[in-house]
């Protein structure tokens, strides 16, 4: 089976899920190079659309995602990575998961998780909300 990278201009979404808890941790995009690097190193890599370059999750924070399994969806246009986290969280805002807010019926958001690390201590920049 060939992955459908062409559907999103050479990128494919990769959903990251904690293998023990089942929690969805983040979503990133991969090009073919990022997927090859992920598979060869056993650590999840993505393609940064904003920086237009390959990056390893945890390259700044040290919170690397160790790859345990890759699953492909039925249309071959999305991947699911089952991982083991090596740090307290994956979110650059200091949460275990990037999905730390719920969307309310009125369009507002509500923070539903506790911060697990202080972003400024890791990234050396202004802490986000």
Question: Considering its fold, how many domains does the chain have in total?
Answer: 1
The C-alpha atoms of residue 13 and residue 112 are separated, in whole angstroms, by 25
With respect to residue 14, please indicate whether it lies within any of the assigned structural domains. yes
Q: Are 58 and 87 in contact (CB under 8 A)?
A: yes
pLDDT in tens, 57-96: 999 899 999 999 999 999 999 999 999 999 999 999 999 9
Look over the chain and give the mean of its residue pLDDT values, rounded to a whole number.
94
The C-alpha atoms of residue 77 and residue 93 are separated, in whole angstroms, by 28
pLDDT confidence of residue 54: 97
For residue 125, what pLDDT band results from cuts at 50, 70 and 90?
Answer: low
60: containing domain: 5-87
Residue partners of 90: CB distance under 8 A and separation at least 6: 16, 25, 26, 57, 63, 65, 96, 97, 98
Q: What predicted TM-score, i.e. pTM, was given to this entire model?
A: 0.90
With respect to residue 10, please indicate whether it lies within any of the assigned structural domains. yes
pLDDT confidence of residue 126: 53
The C-alpha atoms of residue 63 and residue 7 are separated, in whole angstroms, by 30
With respect to residue 43, please indicate whether it lies within any of the assigned structural domains. yes
pLDDT reading at 13 higher than 50: yes
Instruction: Give backbone dihedrals phi and psi of 115, rounded to 5 degrees, phi first.
Output: -65, 140
With respect to residue 48, please indicate whether it lies within any of the assigned structural domains. yes
pLDDT in tens, 21-45: 999 999 999 999 999 999 999 999 9
């Amino acid at each position: 089976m060939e992955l459908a990278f062409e559907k999103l201009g050479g990128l494919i979404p990769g959903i990251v899920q904690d293998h023990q808890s089942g929690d969805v941790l983040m979503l990133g995009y991969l090009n073919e190079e990022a997927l090859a690097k992920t598979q060869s190193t056993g650590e999840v890599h993505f393609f940064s659309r904003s920086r237009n370059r390959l990056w390893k999750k945890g390259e700044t924070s040290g919170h690397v995602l160790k790859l345990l399994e890759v699953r492909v969806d039925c249309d071959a246009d999305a991947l699911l990575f089952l991982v083991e986290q090596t740090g307290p969280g994956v979110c650059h805002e200091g949460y275990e998961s990037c999905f730390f807010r719920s969307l309310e019926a009125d369009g507002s958001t509500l923070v539903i998780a506790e911060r697990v690390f202080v972003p400024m201590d890791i990234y050396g920049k202004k802490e986000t909300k």
